[in-house]
Amino acid sequence: MSPLEFLWVRLNTWAFQVFQAIMGALRPLGRYLKSHPRAERVADRVVGLPEEVFKKVAYNCQMCGQCILHSTGMTCSMNCPKNLRNGPCGGVRPNGHCEVKPEMTCIWVLAYRRSFATAWADHMHHINPPVNRRLAGTSSWINLLTEADIRTQPGWQVEGSGNGHV
């Protein structure tokens, strides 16, 4: 990892830790939004646009609605051509490039390399539930507050998992 890339990941790690503290303080708002669907939709629209602009520029975010950036070395795993959320497929080339897009470094190779510069390197080993496609295009920040991001579809419960947040 280049010094500039390391600095970028470390800066984002610090910013994410501040973000986590802010989101913790906003939990009462999340409970309110969860019980008021209309307010939740308004909040999603108000928060979603700036979130999308920021995360698109910073991480090439695909707005899946269930962000796990902190678990993937501040790398959007949805940029994987196969949308894999739990590590690389079996087709990673010897040079670390993607089997689907040979010109692209595998997202999971980047995530693994970058994870060591974060406070959550051990989260690379957590099993994430499949993406809930119904949340695509929604604000992962609002989904985090309302816990929509951890509600798994029937049959997708990961054994031994806690609350779903990784």
- Give percent of the chain with pLDDT exceeding 90: 69
Q: How many Å apart are CA 50 and CA 41, to the nearest integer?
A: 15
pLDDT tens string 10-50: 998 999 999 999 999 999 999 999 999 999 999 999 999 99
Between 98 and 152, name the one with better pLDDT: 98
Give pLDDT, residue 158: 59
pLDDT tens string 127-155: 888 889 999 999 999 999 999 988 877 77
Contact 10, 2 (CB under 8 A): no
Helix intervals (H) in the chain = 3-25, 27-35, 37-59, 107-115, 140-146
Q: How many Å apart are CA 150 and CA 146, to the nearest integer?
A: 9
Q: How many Å apart are CA 75 and CA 56, to the nearest integer?
A: 11
Q: What six digits make up the tokens of 102?
A: 């040979």
Q: How confident is the model at residue 166 (pLDDT cuts 50, 70, 90)?
A: very low
Give pLDDT, residue 160: 56
Q: Is the pLDDT of residue 163 over 70?
A: no
- 9 phi, psi to nearest 5 deg: -65, -45
**Over residues 102-124, mean pLDDT:** 93
Helix%, strand%, coil% for the chain, nearest 5: 55, 0, 45
Unique residue bearing structure tokens 């995530």: 111
Give pLDDT, residue 95: 96
Give pLDDT, residue 130: 84
Q: How confident is the model at residue 157 (pLDDT cuts 50, 70, 90)?
A: low
Integer distance in angstroms from the first to the last C-alpha of the chain? 24
